[in-house]
Amino acid sequence: MEELVVIGNGMVGHRLVEALRDRDGAGHWHITVVGEEPRTAYDRVALSSYFDGATADDLSLGDLSGPAVDVHVDERATAIDRATRTVTTSTGRTLTYDRLVLATGSSPFVPPVPGRDLPGCHVYRTIEDLDAITADARTARTGVVIGGGLLGLEAANALRLLGLEAHVVELAPHLMPAQIDEGAGALLAGLVSDLGVRIHTGTASTAVEAGPDGRVARLRLADGSHLDTDLVLFSVGIRPRDELARDAGLAVGERGGIVIDDTCTTDDAHVHAIGEAACHRGTVYGLIAPGNAMAEVLADRLVGGGAAFTGADTSTKLKLMGVDVASFGDAHGRTENCLDVVVNDAATGRYAKLVLSDDATTLLGGVLVGDATAYATLRPMVGSPLPGDPLALITPQGGEPLGADALPDSAQICSCNAVTKGAITQAICDGSHDVPALKACTRAGTSCGSCVPMLKNLLDKAGIVQSKALCEHFAHSRAELLEIVRATGITTFSALIAGHGTGAGCDICKPAVASVLASLGNGHILEGEQATLQDTNDRHLANMQRNGTYSVVPRIPGGEITPDKLIVIGEVARDFGLYTKITGGQRIDLFGARLEQLPAIWTRLVDAGFESGHAYGKSLRTVKSCVGTTWCRYGVQDSVGLAIRLEERYRGLRSPHKLKSAVSGCARECAEARSKDFGIIATDQGWNLYVGGNGGFTPRHADLLASDLDEATLIRYIDRFLMFYIRTADRLQRTAPWIEAMEGGLDHLREVVVEDSLGIGAELEEAMERHVASYTDEWAAVLADPDKLSRFQSFANAPDTPDPTVAFTTTRDQPVPTEPVRLGMPALRTRESAR
């Protein structure tokens, strides 16, 4: 077994190890990875999401340590001895190699501006950098980013998310000069300015000056003006990390970077370089796609293949503060005698430019700002003959948008992973019949995700229709069934399946239709036929536990409760012998109630003013809160009051899956609002609304939907969000996967909820108002109806007999279940068996 040492545990180094491990079936290589950061590889492309709720674990690419792979973190390679083929590290370790890979990446360039080392000056490169920025931002009001490129604008957005007034200073005449032209840059500046970021272009930074405390206080500009600031972030470019190679005598490029050939090999046959540290044919690539391509080529070479790296696509598509920006091919029109076709619509915030050959027949490149939906089709067409009028390609009203048919098989659909249309088409022919299968088979769509719409287009063109059937009894999806019920006025499952389904139904469609009927305000869930459709928990308005007993969860809006109500809960728990626990959602669970005890328990709770907490339903569970301005010295808004108003507004709302919410009174986030389906965080100007978070098996942080809202606007947006979710989500689909599966994702949701792009905002608000007006407590209604009360018996032929299989033991002075004892009582039939 030969020894491969990889210096650098970034995204490209990680990709190499992953690719080689997959190819090295013979077990030829033992791999040792040395990374100087204190953690394994993470997604640096998505680094800015760290300020929007993502954690280091969310960004992690995973630890590849295992058989034949050793990964060492927090360890720096300090020297290479090519004669002995060894690497020395900062821990004193000496590693011997047969092949060495330099995947050392790049470092931020900090210009020689006086004061650049003052406290409060930062770069924007690693998670540790972001932690340091966050720490300083806690006592700051204003931040300035030097550099208006891609990373500079991401840094400005980070400052904005941290609650700071953000400025961007760019030496060039317009933003993102490396990717887009002046016209696009001007439009982008306007769109970014509308979001509250101050833009200063065409001027240089001359000095960072300190205040009386020795920290950053102002930034001097070349035009004689200055900006008062508490933070300065440098984002003016990167430099290849080639110092190890230089010290080892390897060739480097004129502007840096370790010189490699098409096999990713340096002038030493035993040493390779990939990613941002490498210089190929005079070019250092600062993008992830070329680095991934180099990693794949080198992995192939290391197992005896003949792959070659001959250059890479430098196209870019991204979203900056909600603004689409894309460039591809010869975006700047540097080709001799090329032609431009430009659409510049400042009124709608949209700029599009195509660069064409001198005879206007071949697409050479382009720029898109404000609307980049055409990117997935245009980028693969670079270098190919145009299929028609070029204006129609960037003017939606000019004709039908082009699809996959316009592309040759050689066109790269996924530039991040160099996947062609032909490879995807072959995967479809081989049985990959949905997007997840295509991702797994080809890796297309697994990086930036911009090619996913094209994957769907290729599936459509192959004649593969994704089934939307709820189950074998309904060919329609849940959302379609909801629309059928709304349009027809159907109020029962039997009428719906008779008119729009087949058979008698099943345990999939019955609860789903029950949820649809309840969502549309079709009366009490235990009324008539609806009672037969419910899951066990809904059928008894309580959660069944493992020993056959039930839990009782009264609603405690916002977590606020009076001493008298606390005493009632304590007395009920004591008198009925219930286990008592405070939940993570600021409620009190009472466990161990037998079925026949539930009405008596709820009689006492309802008489004390409690309502059902809906812990058993696919509905709103809780709106958690911190103490906000009521008690906390950091609070900036009344989180408790808002949480109570929201919980009382949305209580009883039936939905495709359970819903949770929280309100935090400041950015310290004590209520953990960003882990909820909809979470609210207070700002000095109002409220920030986050959506699509959840805990569970796959925890996910919510995404920011809208900022600095007054309460009326906040509630209007939540009304729309919840009703749109209820109407369009699939069965048992939580809000996070619902948004991820939505065409256009969060951007489309924002258009619908905030911008009312579908014109249904008023209708969604009216639907919510109908719910609020018609709400009644489910347990109070049961207690007032003898027919409903008759359901709460353990045995149909012995209504007063408790279930003899239920037994308890005592732990920590509380009753907990023991394993049930089977007493063999065939004459006693449970209500479930009697159905």
pLDDT (tens digit per residue) in 727-767: 999 888 899 889 887 888 898 999 999 999 999 999 999 99
Does an H or E element contain 709, and which?
strand 703-709
Q: Report the b/e string of 706-744 with b at 16+ CB within 10 A.
A: bbebebeebbbbbbbbbbbbbbbbbbebbbbbbbeebee
Report the percent of the chain where pLDDT is more than 70.
Answer: 93
Q: Which of 367-371, 535-539, 550-554, 563-567 has the lowest mean pLDDT?
A: 535-539
CB 325 within 8 A of CB 318: yes
Q: Report the b/e string of 662-692 with b at 16+ CB within 10 A.
A: bbbbbbebbbbbbbbbbbbbbeeebbbbbbb
Does an H or E element contain 429, and which?
helix 421-429
pLDDT digits (tens, 9 = 90+) for 204-238: 999 999 999 999 999 999 999 999 999 999 999 89
Residue whose tokens read 């065939």: 826
pLDDT at 800 over 80: no
Q: Which amino acid is at 835?
A: R
Backbone φ, ψ for residue 527 (5° rounding): -90, 120
Q: What is the 3-state secondary structure (H, E, C) of 489-551?
A: CCCCHHHHHHHHCCCCCCCCHHHHHHHHHHHCCCCCCCCCCHHHHCCHHHHCCCEECCCCCEE
Please state the rounded mean pLDDT for residues 79-105: 97
Give the pLDDT score at 577. Answer: 92
Burial class (CB in 10 A: 0-12, 13-18, 19+), 405: exposed
Q: Closest Cα to residue 186, out of 232, 145, 227, 148?
A: 148
Q: What are residue 218's DSSP bridge partners?
A: 209, 228
Q: What are residue 810's DSSP bridge partners?
A: 815
d(CA 180, CA 416): 20
Read off the pLDDT band of 406 (50, 70, 90): low
pLDDT top residue among 827 and 728: 728
Per-residue CA distances from 729 to 221, 441, 452 (Å): 52, 27, 20
Give the pLDDT score at 533. Answer: 78
Q: Closest Cα to residue 13, out of 36, 3, 24?
A: 36
Contacts of residue 788, Cβ cutoff 8 Å, sequence gap at least 6: 524, 526, 781, 782
d(CA 616, CA 537): 5
- Give the 3-state secondary structure of residue 104: coil
Please state the rounded mean pLDDT for residues 585-605: 91
Q: Which two structure tokens, joined as six digits, stand for 727?
A: 């109407």
Backbone φ, ψ for residue 127 (5° rounding): -60, -35
Give the pLDDT score at 819. Answer: 52
Instruction: Please give the radius of gyration of the chain, using alpha carbons only, rounded to the nearest integer.
Output: 31
pLDDT at 252 over 90: yes
Give the pLDDT score at 94. Answer: 97
Give the pLDDT score at 322. Answer: 67
d(CA 534, CA 541): 10
Q: Closest Cα to residue 345, out of 311, 368, 319, 373?
A: 368
pLDDT at 826 over 80: no
pLDDT at 196 over 80: yes
Please state the rounded mean pLDDT for residues 182-192: 89
Read off the pLDDT band of 452 (50, 70, 90): confident
Please state the rounded mean pLDDT for residues 542-555: 84
Please state the rounded mean pLDDT for residues 789-804: 69
Give the pLDDT score at 69. Answer: 95
Read off the pLDDT band of 404 (50, 70, 90): low
Contacts of residue 766, Cβ cutoff 8 Å, sequence gap at least 6: none
d(CA 819, CA 685): 55
pLDDT digits (tens, 9 = 90+) for 125-183: 999 999 999 999 989 999 999 999 888 998 998 898 888 999 999 999 999 998 888 88
pLDDT digits (tens, 9 = 90+) for 615-656: 888 999 999 999 999 888 888 999 999 999 999 999 999 999
CB 311 within 8 A of CB 331: no
- Give the 3-state secondary structure of residue 690: strand
Read off the pLDDT band of 2 (50, 70, 90): very high
d(CA 288, CA 318): 13
Give the pLDDT score at 205. Answer: 95
- Give the 3-state secondary structure of residue 725: helix
pLDDT digits (tens, 9 = 90+) for 292-323: 999 999 999 999 999 999 888 777 777 676 68
What DSSP character marks residue 830? Answer: B
Report the percent of the chain where pLDDT is more than 90.
Answer: 52
pLDDT at 202 over 60: yes
Give the pLDDT score at 535. Answer: 73
Contacts of residue 382, Cβ cutoff 8 Å, sequence gap at least 6: 315, 328, 329, 363, 364, 365
DSSP notation for 222-236: TTS-EEE-SEEEE-S
Backbone φ, ψ for residue 624 (5° rounding): -75, 155
> What is the chain's length?
835
pLDDT at 720 over 90: yes
Give the pLDDT score at 821. Answer: 40
Give the pLDDT score at 381. Answer: 85
Read off the pLDDT band of 796 (50, 70, 90): low
Quote the mean pLDDT of the chain: 88
Q: Which of 328-332, 679-683, 760-764 has the lowest mean pLDDT?
A: 328-332
pLDDT top residue among 439 and 794: 439
Angle subtended by helix axes 711-728 and 745-753, to nearest 10: 120
Return the C-alpha torsion angle 368, 372, 376, 379, nearest 10: 10
Q: Which of 39-48, 159-168, 196-205, 392-401 has the lowest mean pLDDT?
A: 392-401
Give the pLDDT score at 388. Answer: 74
What the chain holds in terms of domains, given with CATH numbers, is 2-107+240-302 (3.50.50.60), 121-236 (3.50.50.60), 315-402 (3.30.390.30), 407-462 (1.10.10.1100), 478-534 (no CATH), 618-772 (3.30.413.10)
pLDDT digits (tens, 9 = 90+) for 335-351: 988 999 998 887 778 89
